[in-house]
Amino acid sequence: MKRSWLTVIAVVFVVSSVLAGCSGNNVNNGGNASPEPSGSPETTASADPTGGGKTFENMELEVAVFQGGYGREYWDAVADSFMKDYPGTKINITASPQIAELLRPKIVAGNPPDFIYLPQGGDNQPIIDGFIKDNGLLELNDVFESQGENGTPIADSILPGVLESKAMSPNGDGKVLFAPYNYGVMGMWYNKNLFDTKGITLPKTWDEFFALNSVAKENGRALFTYQGLHPGYLEEIIIPAIFNVGGKEALDQFFNYDPEFWKSETFKKVFGLFEKIANEDNALMNGTVALNHTQSQTDFLMGKSMFIPNGSWFEDEMKDAPREDGFQFGFLGVPSFDAGKPVMALTSVELFMIPAKAKNPELAKEFLKYLYTEKSVKLNGEKAKAVMAVKGAPDLVKEYISATTYEIFKAVDGGMEALNGAFKTPAQGSKFNPGDEVYQPLSSIMNKQMTLEEYGDKLYEVYTNIQKEYQ
């Protein structure tokens, strides 16, 4: 199933008592209710992980993390490592798949933990949106401007464009409120073995993409399929394509509900891709619109289409699915409209945050800095089998991830242009879910029940009504 921080998302991107009992190594065991720790924290202590002493008035840190597919082993390991490098500190970890339920009463009562990790979407999204609306998070610019372990600002070690994205700086004012954790890479996929054995050149532009329709037909398959009942997967093409055509200005229009986006040439060019796929013979795999994500993905693996959109979780999600002989996962990214522009990829980035009402913000910031050290990045690869949004991370964790996963992340790390973003948080009480409003009707274009012009008119009205809700 799709993991997006954009609807995030994307990604984008409130929560019962942060239960802070601790085990013998000062890391609490698991997300079950436990009493608050007794005793008062030390008032001063020094830490010297790299030769420079640090002093904190409060040496105890409350950390709350979502325990999902990455597990909690990384958090226990990195907390142990931090406490060894910062003698005298004590980190209490609360981890749970239902972390939102555990944290909500604390946040509402003005007593949040010091540091939080939450992925965007689902039960977590109201917490994230609430922090944004209520100005409930510390600005983190000073963290990223500070010197990292290699002597340069920590910001220089983060993947380009991530800190500037709407997911990390949601108000568009340059204030970084969220810090990046693991990231996923999304775009179009293909059968690498087919392309290699047949000598097929990967398309770098959309013209080259559509030119492969005849090649697809010769090889007994359609050009394209997608997760028909879940057209939100098409964001993985749409968002990079909007930026490719109209740049940041067009993407801001799209994410900030400017109705004029739906009258623009960028809209017509980008969303026109789907009308062309729908109308061109053999371009869309038969039956696509009626398929769920596993059905369409299985058909792709079986050789019924040449391309499908998906994310870096694709291989693991479908590890037990049948496939055509010799199938190998290959990641294309998203072609450009212009041969002079690079192939792109959509990235989804999970979030760290420090509440404005944290009791120990300075130690929380120091812990955040520590998470971007090489030691931490490697621990995350080993324990969580994941890649942090840090330059060079794929090579640091190569031994812990599959060869295909490594190649995907290496493509972004090595120059494929990556993009990240999120819809602006709707007004409180809004009746609109922006992601659904934008993506769900796309299947009506794909099955020729709606024209591109009708779709644009519909979204113009939706965006106009969303804007009215802010008034």
Residue 124 lies in a domain: no
Residue 415 lies in a domain: no
pLDDT (0 to 100) of residue 53: 53
pLDDT > 80? residue 47: no
Between 69 and 9, the more confident residue is: 69
pLDDT > 90? residue 203: yes
Residue 7 lies in a domain: no
Residue 457 lies in a domain: no
Element (H, E) at 195: helix 192-198
Q: What is the pLDDT of residues 164-192, one digit of tens each?
A: 888 899 888 999 999 999 988 899 999 99
Domain span holding position 230:
185-344
Least confident of 43-52, 71-80, 300-309: 43-52
pLDDT > 60? residue 151: yes
Residue 225 lies in a domain: yes
pLDDT > 70? residue 45: no
Q: What are the strands, taking DSSP E only, across 126-247?
A: 179-191, 222-224
Q: Where are the alpha helices (DSSP H) in 283-333?
A: 293-301, 314-317
| Residue 139 vs residues 123, 142, 177, 370: alpha-carbon distances, Å | 24, 8, 5, 17
Burial string for 373-402 (b: 16+ CB within 10 Å, else e) reads bebbbbbbbbbbbbbbbbeebbebbbebbe
Burial string for 230-259 (b: 16+ CB within 10 Å, else e) reads bbbbbbbbbbbbbbbbbeeebbbbbbebbb
Whether the CB-CB separation of 7 and 423 falls below 8 Å is answered with: yes
| Residue 171 vs residues 95, 175, 418: alpha-carbon distances, Å | 29, 7, 21
Between 119 and 270, the more confident residue is: 270
Residue 395 lies in a domain: no
Whether the CB-CB separation of 31 and 67 falls below 8 Å is answered with: yes
Whether the CB-CB separation of 438 and 274 falls below 8 Å is answered with: no
Distance between CA 243 and CA 239 in Å, rounded? 6
pLDDT more than 90, % of the chain:
69
pLDDT (0 to 100) of residue 5: 34
Dmax of the chain from CA atoms? 73
Whether the CB-CB separation of 82 and 367 falls below 8 Å is answered with: yes
Q: In total, how many domains does the chain have? A: 1
Residue 103 lies in a domain: no
CATH number, position 276: 3.40.190.10
Q: What is the pLDDT of residues 354-411, one digit of tens each?
A: 999 999 999 999 999 999 999 999 999 999 989 999 999 999 999 999 888 898 888 7
Residue 338 lies in a domain: yes
State mean pLDDT over 23-39.
Answer: 34
CB-count burial class (<10 Å; 0-12, 13-18, 19+) for 215: middle
